Structure 1
Amino acid sequence: MTDATQAAPALKEIFNRARLQHIAEQTAAVYPAFDVPVFLAHVSEDLDNLSLMQRLTRVSRGLHACLPQDYATALDILYKLAPRLNSGFVTLVLPEYVALYGQHDFERSMQALKYFTPFGSSEFAVRHFLRLDFPRALELMRHWAKDDNEHVRRLASEGSRPRLPWSFRLETLMLDPSPVLPILDSLKADNSLYVRKSVANHFNDITKDNPGWVLDQIEGWSLDNPHTAWIARHALRSLIKKGDRRALTIMGAGHAAQVRVEQVSVSPEHVRLGDRINLSVRLTSTAEQSQRLIIDYALHYVKKSGGTSAKVFKLKTLDLAAGESVVVSREQQIRNFTTRVHYAGKHELDILINGECLARTFFDLID
């Protein structure tokens, strides 16, 4: 196997045996009575067969088995442990501990999640408290949205996403997203990119269940602020990929593109798994004035059954002057993912401009 095709270590190896040893040693450093052998025996059992999130939960349970059973006392130890852990993702075991063992002490636990989030994130754990007492948790998170710390502000948005990946869905917010509007409204011009990404992803989540609600909100925004414009563009990305006319209009591309497609190609035409394709399209404006173009491409992947399934990719957004020509290109590697396996056959590729297919080309994936 060459370096180019060699698989990267599994994500679950964040919690490998060396990391478990590190956690044990650092916990013992702040709590000398910590029983390192018992902890390691607990968290290492059947480790190879555990997923990433199962390993994370196993560590939190292992800490609970070896720390004082008084919750407040254990939290004091975990507060001291947080800055000593050598991985931001590994610190997620601390909010997980809170979710598992702190639901009886709501206020103390929510403050702990706020404290832990700058070290990694409390986005998964806080959802348990939203499910436990939605009004009370959401009220605190509305205050977090105005915090000086960008990590805390992000937690207010990320933790309340209705469809947060790797977590359970918040059905209440999938049915009615309006309770989180004060949080999102507070953050729609945030000066932190870290926060803005979360807000955009949150709105994009909502478009899966309530697209009209999202469009109603963003249509009322002033996009003069570049931070707000950035959020709007990324929040509407799924709707734009679907050619939603309202979303395209908000982004200034609701009109039909007045262009001539002079060249579209994919090279090479015959590729093998692991190869890269180069997509190129040349456009010339036929309009009498400048126009905004949102250019995407839809790749029709061949399925095992022989049918196809399309996935839309962003290509470029640009303003094309009257009579101006432009060449837009993109390189993409054809490789397998855990979420997509490629099959040999003819893969068609559509050029989408302002939501309409204006050209089509293809390449053949061969064995």
Structure 2
Amino acid sequence: MFNRAFYVNFAQAFGNVDKHFHVEAFIDDVTRGIDRLSLNGRLRNTSIMLHRHLPDDFNKAVAILYAAAPLLPAGYTALVLPDYVALYGKQHFDQSMEALQYFTTLGSAEFAIREFLKTDLVKTLDVMHKWADDKNVHVRRLASEGSRPRLPWSFKLAEIIKQPALTQGILEKLSADEALYVRKSVANHLNDHSKDNASYMLNLVSGWDKTNKHTSWIIKHAIRTLVKRGDREALKIFGFEGEVSVVLENLYTDKISLRLGDTLSFGFGLKSESEQQQKLVVDYAIHYVKASGVRMKKVYKLREVLLLPGQAVQFSKRQPFLDLTTRKHYAGEHLLEILVNGNTLGKVRFVLHI
């Protein structure tokens, strides 16, 4: 994304709004040694080089960013704008908050705002609580996403991990948001809390209105990690009892040995042994071999079932074994595990060859 063609257009946008901006000099500076930089390294380098070519006065520089912003492509590369504010705006808090509120509508300011949370947590959270009431979906989402305790690609917010109630007001304001973009963020924020403060998170969402479809969606996705672990309190929120009375039948795989690139097909049945209907969440897990030789468990959703007394239900699934950017496979003995309401009902071993 950050290549020479991008920087030519980028520099021209600034040249169009600032007659003192030296387009060719900026392009030469920002592309020098760029092949050695990662994606995020190029993002940060762009902010630093912009600072060399914009006025030293922060307010004047930000005014130029505002003017150039509509001429720039939205999306990831637009994160340069909030990144500039994060680097050079800490001594100009009010102006920086206004800038981030605008720039997040072009490319999320979720990483930039964390620099201000690290510097002045209370003051920044006060602004973010107000953002949770904003009419703009991107600004509301920033209130939740930027204050996540464990935002991927960023540092942890240790104080919020210690005091999760610091963001409670933000989450409660957004607990029935109509925008899926916002709801996903709220669910992920709550899921972050579940990793460090599970009891707090469960107590919080248990008091929310589950009859609201938006709130129900958030809660279900928020407790997903705890459900996968078979946490009894998380299961109870949606009526999934920890104890189940079912029998696993005819668990099979179509092969016990496969190679990278193959697909494992498997199936099984569940039969009720209860006189009452049972609400079940059925998952499966693959215990992947890691580089060290140790197996690590990854849980996948299958489906939810309302099992009637004496009823039997069949399941089948295909699981591909392909290297991805998020997963590299290693040779060795793997396990397939069937889970019902967090309980292990059966396992099958198979070998992956690389």
TM-score range, shorter chain: over 0.9
Deviations 1:63-96 (A, max 9, x none): 1111222211211221122222224111100000
Q: Does 1:108 align with 2:88?
A: no
C-alpha separation in 1, matches of 2:19 and 2:261: 51
Give 1:249's match in structure 2, choosing from 236, 241, 258: 236
Which position in structure 2 is the counterpart of 1:352? 339
The answer to whether structure 1 residue 179 and structure 2 residue 162 are counterparts is no
What residue number does 2:145 align with?
158
Following superposition, the deviation at residue 22 of structure 1 comes to: 2.3
2:27 corresponds to 1:40: yes
User: Kindly tell me: are residues 49 and 333 of structure 1, through their superposed partners in 2, closer, same or farther at Cα, counting changes over 3 Å?
Assistant: farther
Q: Which amino acid aligns with 1:15?
A: F
Structure 2 residue 66 is matched with structure 1 residue 79: yes
Instruction: Give the structure 1 partner of residue 207 of structure 2.
Output: 220
Q: In angstroms, what is the RMSD of aligned CA positions? A: 1.6
Contact 2:242–2:343 at 8 Å: present in 1 too?
A: no
Q: What amino acid maps onto 2:31 in structure 1?
A: S
Q: Does 1:327 align with 2:278?
A: no
Q: Which amino acid aligns with 1:262?
A: E
Separation (CA, whole Å) in 1 of partners of 2:78 and 2:290: 39
- Percent identity between matched residues is 48
Q: Displacement, 1:213?
A: 0.6
User: Which of residues 64, 70, 78 in structure 1 aligns to 2:57?
Assistant: 70
Q: CA deviation at 1:211?
A: 0.9
Q: Give the match's secondary structure for 1:208.
A: helix
Alignment counterpart, residue 312 of structure 1, candidates 293, 299, 308: 299
Distance 1:288 1:80, change over 3 A: farther
1:163-186 CA-partner distances (Å, limit 9, x unpaired): 111111111101111111000011
CA separation in 2, counterparts of 1:21 and 1:274?
Answer: 41
How far off is 1:339 after superposition? Answer: 4.7
Q: Which residue is equivalent to 1:198?
A: 185
CA offsets 1:192-231 (integer angstroms, 9 cap, x no match): 1000000000011111111111011112222111111111
Match 2:81 to one of 66, 82, 94: 94
Amino acid at match of 1:202: H
Residue equivalent to 2:264: 277
Q: Secondary structure at the match of 2:104?
A: helix
After TM superposition, give the deviation of residue 338 of structure 1 in Å. 4.5
1:314 deviates by 1.8
| Aligned residue identity for 1:311 | K
Instruction: Work out the CA distance in 2 between the residues paired with 1:282 and 1:272.
Output: 27
SS at match of 2:111: coil
Contact 1:316–1:328, Cα closer than 8 Å, also in 2: no
User: 1:305 and 1:64, CA in 2 relative to 1: closer, same or farther beyond 3 A?
Assistant: closer
Tell whether 2:215 aligns with 1:239: no
* SS of the residue 2:293 aligns to: coil
Runs of 4+ aligned residues of structure 1 deviating over 4 Å after TM superposition are none
Matched residues in 1 for 2:202 and 2:216: separation? 14
- Counterpart of 2:330? 343
1:126 paired to 2:109: no
Tell me the TM-score normalised to structure 1 length. Answer: 0.92
What's 1:30 paired with?
Answer: 17
Moved more, 276-285 or 74-83: 276-285
CA distance in 2: counterparts of 1:330 and 1:19, whole angstroms: 43
Post-superposition Cα deviations, 1:234-286, rounded to whole Å, max 9, x if no partner, equal 11111111111111111211232222222322334322112222232322333
Aligned to 2:248: 261
**Aligned 8 A contact 1:266 1:362 in 2:** no
Residue equivalent to 1:9: none
Q: What is the aligned partner in structure 2 of residue 362 from structure 1? A: 349
Residue by residue, what CA displacement relative to the aligned partner does 1:321-362 show, whole Å, maximum 9, x if unpaired? 333333333333212244543221221111010010012123
Structure 2 SS opposite 1:264: strand
For normalisation by structure 2, the TM-score amounts to: 0.95
Alpha-carbon separation, structure 2, partners of 1:313 and 1:62: 44
Structure 2: distance between partners of 1:138 and 1:208: 21
Amino acid paired to 1:93 = V
Whether 1:229 and 2:216 are equivalent positions in the alignment is: yes
Quote the Cα distance in structure 2 between the aligned partners of 1:331 and 1:40.
49
Match of 1:139 in 2: 126
Letter in 2 for 1:242: R
Counterpart secondary structure, 1:326: strand
CA distance in 2, matches of 1:65, 1:167: 25
Within 2, Cα distance between the matches of 1:158 and 1:165?
Answer: 10
TM-aligned CA deviation for residue 44 of structure 1: 1.4
Whether the 8 Å contact between 2:230 and 2:242 is mirrored in structure 1 is no
1:118 is paired with a residue whose SS is: coil
- Is the contact between residue 295 and residue 315 of structure 1 (CA under 8 Å) also seen in structure 2? yes
